[in-house]
Amino acid sequence: MRSARPISVLFAALVSLLLAGCTGMPAGQDRPRLVVFMVVDGLPQRQVLAYRDQLAPDGLARFLDRGAWFAEAHYGHAVTATAPGHASMLTGAYPHRTGIIHNEWRDVNTGDPVYNTGDTAASYIGHKTRPLDGTSPRNLKAETVGDVLRRIEPRSRVIAISGKDRGAILPAGRSGVAYMYMGESGQFASSTHYMKEHPAWVTAFHARKTADRYFKTEWKPLLPEAAYARSIPDNQPWFGPRGGKLPMMMGVAADDAPGPAYYGALLASPFADILALEFARAAIAGEQLGRDDAPDILVVSLSGHDYVNHRWSAESRLSHDHLLQLDRQFEVFFRDLDTAVGRDNYLALLTADHGFMPAPEHSQAQGQAGGRLSSGQMLTRVNADLQRAFGEAKLVPFISASTALVLDRKLIAQKGLDFDAIALAARASLLAEPAVAAAYTRRELESGSRAGAPFFEAMRRSWHQQISGDVQFVYKPLWMAASSSGYAATHGSPHRYDTHVPIMLWGPKWVRAGRVDARVEVADIAPTLSRLLRVPAPAASEGRPLPLPAP
One DSSP character per residue, 277-294 reads: HHHHHHHHHHTTTTSSSS
Burial of 448 by CB count in 10 Å (0-12 exposed, 13-18 middle, 19+ buried)? exposed
| CB distance 170 to 116 below 8 Å | yes
Looking at residue 254, its pLDDT comes to 62
Q: Chain centroid to CA 176: how far?
A: 17
Shortest CA distance to 100 belongs to which of 44, 150, 138?
138
- Residues 349, 35: contact at Cβ < 8 Å? yes
Per-residue pLDDT of the chain (551 residues; tens, 9 = 90+): 344 434 444 444 444 444 444 444 444 458 999 999 999 999 999 999 999 999 999 999 999 999 999 999 999 999 999 999 999 999 999 999 999 999 999 999 999 999 999 999 999 999 999 999 999 999 999 999 999 999 999 999 999 999 999 999 999 999 999 999 999 999 999 999 999 999 999 999 999 999 999 999 999 999 999 999 999 999 999 997 788 999 999 987 667 899 999 999 999 999 999 999 999 999 999 999 999 999 999 999 999 999 999 999 999 999 999 999 999 999 999 999 999 999 999 999 999 999 999 999 999 999 999 999 999 999 999 999 999 999 999 999 999 999 999 999 999 999 999 999 999 999 999 999 999 999 999 999 999 999 999 999 999 999 999 999 999 999 999 999 987 578 999 999 999 999 999 999 999 999 999 999 999 999 999 999 999 999 999 999 999 999 998 66
Q: Is the peptide bond before 221 cis (omega within 30 degrees of 0)?
A: no
Task: Report the first-to-last Cα separation within the chain, whole angstroms.
Answer: 33
DSSP 482-506: --TT--S----SSSHHHHB--EEEE
Give pLDDT, residue 241: 77
| Start-end of CATH 3.40.720.10 domains in the chain | 30-362+495-533
Q: Where in the chain is the domain with CATH 3.30.1360.150?
A: 371-476
209, 166, 205, 162: which is closest to 304 by C-alpha? 162
- Per CATH, the number for 30-362+495-533 is 3.40.720.10
Phi, psi of 141 (to 5 degrees): -100, 5
Amino acid at 130: R
Distance between CA atoms of residues 37 and 290, nearest Å: 13
**CA–CA gap between residue 134 and residue 148 (Å, rounded):** 23
State the Cα–Cα distance between residues 173 and 237, nearest whole angstrom: 42
Cα dihedral 538, 175, 180, 211 in deg (nearest 10): -110
The confidence score (pLDDT) of residue 4 equals 40
Residue 251 confidence (pLDDT): 81
| 3-class state of residue 316 by DSSP | strand
CB-based contact 501:352 (threshold 8 Å): yes
Would you say the pTM of this structure is higher than 0.85? Answer: yes
Residue 253 confidence (pLDDT): 63
Confidence (pLDDT) at 190 = 98
pLDDT on residue 486: 80
Q: Which helix (H) or strand (E) holds 382?
A: helix 375-390
- Phi, psi at 104, each rounded to 5°: -145, 160
The answer to whether 178 and 194 have CB atoms below 8 angstroms apart is yes
Half-sphere exposure of 272 (CA within 13 A, CB side): 32
Q: Write out the E strands in 123-185.
A: 158-162, 177-182
Domain covering 371-476 in this structure, CATH number: 3.30.1360.150
E strands within 116-176? 158-162
CA dist., res. 167 & res. 303, Å (int): 8
Q: For the beta carbon of residue 151, count every other beta carbon within 10 angstroms.
A: 14
Q: Is 384 helix (H, G, I), strand (E, B) or coil?
A: helix
> What's the CA angle centered on 143, arms 76 and 462, to 5 degrees?
30
